[in-house]
Amino acid sequence: MRICLLASGSKGNSLLVESGQTRLLVDAGISARELRKRLASIGVEAESLNALLITHEHTDHVRGLGPLVRQLGLSVYLQTDLARKLPDVGKSECVHEFADGEDFIVNDLTIRPFAITHDSLAPVGFTLSGEQGKIGVATDLGVATRLVVECLRECRALVLETNHDEEMLRDGPYPWFLKQRVRGNHGHLSNIAGGSLLQNLLWEGLETVFLGHLSETNNRPKLALDAVNHVLNKQNVCAPEVLIGRQNLPTMWAA
């Protein structure tokens, strides 16, 4: 199993997951050219990808979607409402629709999309399960609902959001309406909220946690790490490796 945050942050997001016979991307929020470059930097040819999963339609998650699908003839999986809204992303046979909560299969991985709260059309998180374990992905959510917690239980690896430090956001340069959007129930999880979500997901099989979508304006990696370590240091259930996603460089875990 290998997981690599190819890009993570407000300017673009993309995640590579390799497990068993399957190699796929979750989101394509940087250019197709840059995605190819970052994949090559970790020894992966874009042509070897099996599929692309999309969480929602914001530009920092779909910037490279159309070019990548058209160049590679890559299968792309979109929530039904989103599939009908997005402009043409390639040949119709490349587009596969899914419904929230209904599993679908890509090679030897079972994918479960689950609804999250964000200011977009039909945002989802994903779990990806196979013989090598279960991976959970949940970023761009304003609230960690009971559904989110239930779906993310017993993951071997998690990609969770720690978008902002609450004090930095409050005192920072964003206009008031944008501060309210970020901190609202359809915005982004703070460091503390991300840590609280993690606290509900601790179990003996958890091996690694990626902290994702850190704001360059309203957060610092050390603050995100401190918030999560505060949770981890108070328990003895597991000792996961904690990795921080970066905007400009891949961050990888392999097991």
Instruction: Give the domains, in start order, of the chain with CATH numbers.
Output: 2-248 (3.60.15.10)
pLDDT number for residue 93? 86
Using the predicted structure, report yes or no on whether residue 59 has a pLDDT greater than 90: yes
pLDDT number for residue 91? 75
What is the average pLDDT value for the chain, to the nearest integer?
A: 96
Percent of the chain with pLDDT over 70: 100
pLDDT number for residue 33? 97
Task: Report d(CA 222, CA 237) in Å as an integer.
Answer: 23
Taking residues 142-150, report their average pLDDT. Answer: 97
Q: Is the pTM of this model over 0.85?
A: yes
Taking residues 55-60, report their average pLDDT. Answer: 96
3-state helix, strand, coil in the chain (%, to 5): 30, 30, 45
77-81: long-range contacts, CB 8 A cutoff, minimum separation 24? 77/51, 77/52, 77/53, 77/104, 77/106, 77/111, 78/54, 79/54, 79/113, 79/121, 79/122, 79/124, 80/122, 81/121, 81/122
Based on DSSP, count helices (H) and strands (E) in the chain, helices before strands.
9, 14
Using the predicted structure, report yes or no on whether residue 207 has a pLDDT greater than 80: yes
Taking residues 179-208, report their average pLDDT. Answer: 98
Most distant pair of Cα atoms in the chain: their distance: 51
Task: Report d(CA 224, CA 195) in Å as an integer.
Answer: 9
Task: Report d(CA 12, CA 97) in Å as an integer.
Answer: 23
pLDDT number for residue 18? 97
Using the predicted structure, report yes or no on whether residue 92 has a pLDDT greater than 90: no
pLDDT digits (tens, 9 = 90+) for 72-89: 999 999 999 999 888 778
Q: How confident is the model at residue 166 (pLDDT cuts 50, 70, 90)?
A: very high
